[in-house]
A and B are shown apart, each in its own frame.
Chain A
Amino acid sequence: MLKISDLRVAVDGKTILNGLSLEVGTGEVHAIMGPNGSGKSTLANVVAGRDGYEVLGGTVEFKGKDLLDLDPEVRAHEGVFLAFQYPVEIPGVANIALLKEGLNAARRYRGEPELDALDFLKLVREKIKLVEMKEEFLYRSVNEGFSGGEKKRNEIFQMAMLEPSLSLLDETDSGLDIDALKIVAGGVNSLRSQDRSVILVTHYQRLLDYIVPDYVHVLAEGRIVQSGDKDLALKLEAEGYGWIEESAGAAA
């Protein structure tokens, strides 16, 4: 599904990702953990195609295509989705208008007919239940005046609507209380399937109690320094990131 090789990325002239390699197979859930400033969010944003990230070297292949060559909307049409760490408030653009536009653009891209109003609404009602959001949120401006938890749920709702083959969740657990966390995790789990892959970017192990990953990677100083299964996350939770940073420092 996704193959990142030796990726090096700078932001404002400062190298953030420094030779990162990662393979995510179809249907797999990977957790990327690491201390603040290790490059986790940069990785998620580069894959989604946000401006301001300078790729110095390396490749990102998605379903065999050179992802870095595609515009962000085309990446979305190809099946990449980023759940933002800080979802953006967009006054004047209704949630439902964004979804309809995004969903139908992807369908046109795939050569499928656009959903008519009735089918679209049916889909919306089905998916919004997954994240236990009220329907009134559909008609409100995107994220405007939403609480932190509502914003994160809205991200997962959008994800459920767009049915991406690769979902990147950037610190989706941050700022959530336990009930909201369970709802968000439930939404993600409902999308898990043989055809869909998920990358969870997180600082804490807590989320992984609810979304159990197949692989856990530790990112430090711009590259993956340790990979393992879910037990690695437990070790990080118990021992912190100190030992990782020491060993990464020693390796460099």
Chain B
Amino acid sequence: MSSVVENAAAYVAAQQDTAAQLPGYGLAELDAGRAAALEQLSRQGLPSQQDEDWKYTSTRSITRAAFKPASAGATCPSDFITQSVIEGLNPYRMVFVDGFLSAALSDLEALPTHVRLRSLAQVLSEDATSVLPKLGQMLGDPPHGFAAMNSAFVADGAVVEIEAHQHLERPIELLFVSGCGDEGLVSMPRTLVLMGEGSQATIIERHCSLKEVRSLNNSLVEIDLGKGAVLDYCSLQSQSDRSFHVGGLFAGLAESATLRATTVSTSGALVRNDARINLNGENSTVHLDGCYLVFGRSHVDNHTHISHNRADCVSRETYKGVLGDRGRAVFHGRIVVKQDAQKTDSEQSNQNLLLSEEAEIDTKPQLEIYADDVKCAHGATVGQLDDLALFYLVSRGVKRETARRMLTQAFAADVLDRVESVPLRQYLQSLAFDRLSNA
């Protein structure tokens, strides 16, 4: 490894120091994967605004001082978990503390035998051959240095395996608590969701902070949906204003599979989400929705990439943002329709509501079509609250602030209203309500 880009040097050194302690070390395939990712990280470094995909998102607040990789063993009070539960959800819960599974805080009681929830560390140590072919498969070439870093350090996270034709009634919650250890730690959980043919499940990936310490959460999720599998997925980021979140959602869908994914961001200093969905089988469907509420000095960047690789697939994408104060957001939605993907049916929209003069959104919907028989629509809007609607409400006696909140909530609501799970939907709605009430 000749030269290392400066902003990655500390991470490369840390990986080299600790590689031998990573779970599964010595397995040729795993070692090679980590080494390749490390090589990419060294060569590319962490992204900067010179990179086209990071043009509107400065990583300086992340790179100005390197984070130290978190280690297993940090603790989180059980009270915190109890207080964070989503009422009525009653999930199988895996709790990760600074990226490492806490068995004590997790609750997998009554888990059916056809479903396996294990930590990646455990799988890599005991049973690596069963998942190694899948690890990194949905990710493909890491799109940027953060994803490469996650792969170079890959150690823990959740491995969710649902056998063919099994319908899981209760949802699975993956709760990632960061900010448990010292100031300045980076956690790098990797989650793998493997759903067999015809299986169904609901998974909630939730990121929150225990303490308000400077922290980086570099999280990566890979989802493999077998033929006809149906997954309702929700990723929620509500971390402290001193935390940085770089998240990846990489999914591959086989024939007739359905993924309904909703990404909700309500707080955090900087949130960057990369979603990459590959519609690999005919008749597969993805609903990719997002809701970002960006206030204070927060920055939320959603980069999505849906690839129609086969014929007769459907994609529906709706991202909605409400920005106030000095909030900034970025939306870049790419839809690629490959040459073989005839009869593609794709709709994408990004709508933004700006509540203050200083708020800023950069939005870029992008369609690339290489097939000739397709139905694709996309569009983006940026607007303010409708003055006439506001006057209508206040003329009925509604206080101006309440009226503004009602209109703002109504704007954000339709994305959340589509979430299937009722307790989850209500939780997200009340979270958005609180966020917009205090805005």
Contact = CB atoms under 8 A, between A and B. Distances in A.
A162 B398 CA distance: 11
Contacts of A81: 395-396
A81 B392 CA distance: 11
Contacts of B389: 88, 90
Interface residues of B, number: 23
A178 interface: no
B406 interface: yes
Contacts of B414: 91-92
A146 to B, nearest CB: 13
A67 interface: no
Contacts of A93: 393, 406-407, 410
A84 B392 contact: yes
Given A97-B406, A101-B406, A87 B392 contact: yes
A9 interface: no
A189 B218 CA distance: 66
A35 interface: no
A99 B395 contact: no
A162 B396 CA distance: 8
Contacts of B110: none
A90 B410 contact: yes
B407 A90 contact: yes
Nearest to B406: A93
Interface string A87-115: 11011110001110111011001000000
A90 B392 contact: yes
A49 interface: yes
Contacts of B402: 101, 105
B400 A73 contact: yes
Given A91-B410, A92-B414, A93-B410, A99 B391 contact: no
A92 B410 contact: yes
A62 B119 CA distance: 70
Interface in B300-319: none
Interface residues of A, number: 32
Nearest to B408: A92
Contacts of B413: 92
Nearest to B392: A88
Given A73-B394, A98-B396, A88 B406 contact: no
B104 interface: no
A44 to B, nearest CB: 11
B392 A105 contact: no
- Residue among B396, B406, B414 with the most chain A CB within 10 A? B396
A102 B387 contact: no
A102 B414 CA distance: 23
B124 to A, nearest CB: 46
A50 interface: yes
Contacts of B122: none
B426 interface: no
Contacts of A97: 406
Given A71-B400, A93-B407, A48 B395 contact: yes
B165 interface: no
Contacts of B1: none
Given A88-B389, A98-B398, A158-B396, 10 more contacts: A73-B398, A73-B399, A76-B394, A76-B395, A88-B388, A93-B393, A98-B393, A102-B396, A141-B410, A162-B397
29 contacts: A49-B394, A50-B391, A51-B391, A72-B391, A72-B395, A73-B397, A73-B399, A73-B400, A76-B394, A77-B397, A84-B392, A87-B392, A88-B389, A90-B393, A92-B413, A93-B406, A98-B393, A98-B398, A101-B393, A101-B396, A101-B397, A101-B402, A102-B396, A105-B397, A105-B402, A109-B397, A141-B410, A158-B396, A162-B397
